[in-house]
Amino acid sequence: MKTFRSDLKKIRKRARDKMRDGAVTGAYKADRRRVISVLNEVLATEIVCVLRYKNHYFMASGIHAQPVAQEFLQHANEEQQHADWVAQRITQLGGEPNMNPEGLATRSHSEYAGSGSLESMIREDLVAERVAIETYSEIIRWLRNDDPTTRRLVEDILKMEEEHADDLANLLTTLAPR
């Protein structure tokens, strides 16, 4: 086994080579381009979720609307936070966050779905969250240990999407008991 010293020499040399790659070093084991492209799909998913929740927030009306509208607004703000985290990670990896509205819905995993009754909006949001939970879980499995930082980021987002899905399922039960 090589001594740590000699390894450290190599690491120091590698850190100087391609210094402008910033956070991406020789230790990066994932396919950077593929990761950037997958993160751009996540970014599109988050932006579509912001738009859908904002639409639902403004359109929520009726006797039960107030608490539900507040939940929509909170989710919208959290999806925006996710979008910002993802965009920042894309730039760390040397990519460009794709904010182009053209093709946004195609790049997104979840669908837009405009307003309707309070119950139907909650249903659509719950479906979108469940889609995101499935695709993000797959991304986490796909990344394995090749890019731990991106994986942890997607894990943090996944945790919040699961909370969103749980909130919505509870709202649905309150509003429309089975």
Considering beta carbons, is residue 53 or 93 the nearer one to Fe ion? 53
Residue 67 buriedness (CB in 10 A; 0-12 / 13-18 / 19+): exposed
Q: Between the CA atoms of 168, 174, 175 and 178, what dihedral angle is there, to the nearest 10 degrees?
A: 100
Q: How far is the CB of 129 from Fe ion (least distance, A)?
A: 5
Sign of the CA dihedral with 88 first, then 156, 81, and 143 last: positive
Q: How far is the CB of 45 from Fe ion (least distance, A)?
A: 7
What is the rounded end-to-end Cα distance, in angstroms, of the chain? Answer: 64
- Taking the C-alpha atoms of residue 169 and residue 126, their distance in angstroms, rounded to an integer, is 7
| Residues 109-128 interacting with Fe ion (rule: CB under 5 A) | none
Interface with Fe ion, residue 71, by CB under 5 A? no
Distances (CA, A) of 35 to 6, 13, 76, 91, 95: 31, 26, 25, 12, 10
Q: How far is the CB of 82 from Fe ion (least distance, A)?
A: 4
Of 107, 164, 168, 171, the residue at the interface with Fe ion (CB under 5 A) is 164
Q: Give me Rg for the CA atoms of the chain.
A: 20
Q: How many residues bind Fe ion, per CB under 5 A?
A: 6
Q: How far is the CB of 177 from Fe ion (least distance, A)?
A: 24
Region of 24 please: left (phi>0), alpha (psi -120 to 50) or beta.
Answer: beta
Considering beta carbons, is residue 71 or 147 the nearer one to Fe ion? 71
Stretch that binds Fe ion, among 42-50, 66-74, 146-154, 167-175 (CB under 5 A): 42-50
Considering beta carbons, is residue 25 or 77 the nearer one to Fe ion? 77
| Residues 76-95 interacting with Fe ion (rule: CB under 5 A) | 79, 82
Considering beta carbons, is residue 31 or 156 the nearer one to Fe ion? 156
| Residues 142-161 interacting with Fe ion (rule: CB under 5 A) | 161
**Whose CA is closest to 61, among 109, 119, 123, 128?**
119
Binding site for Fe ion (CB under 5 A): 46, 79, 82, 129, 161, 164
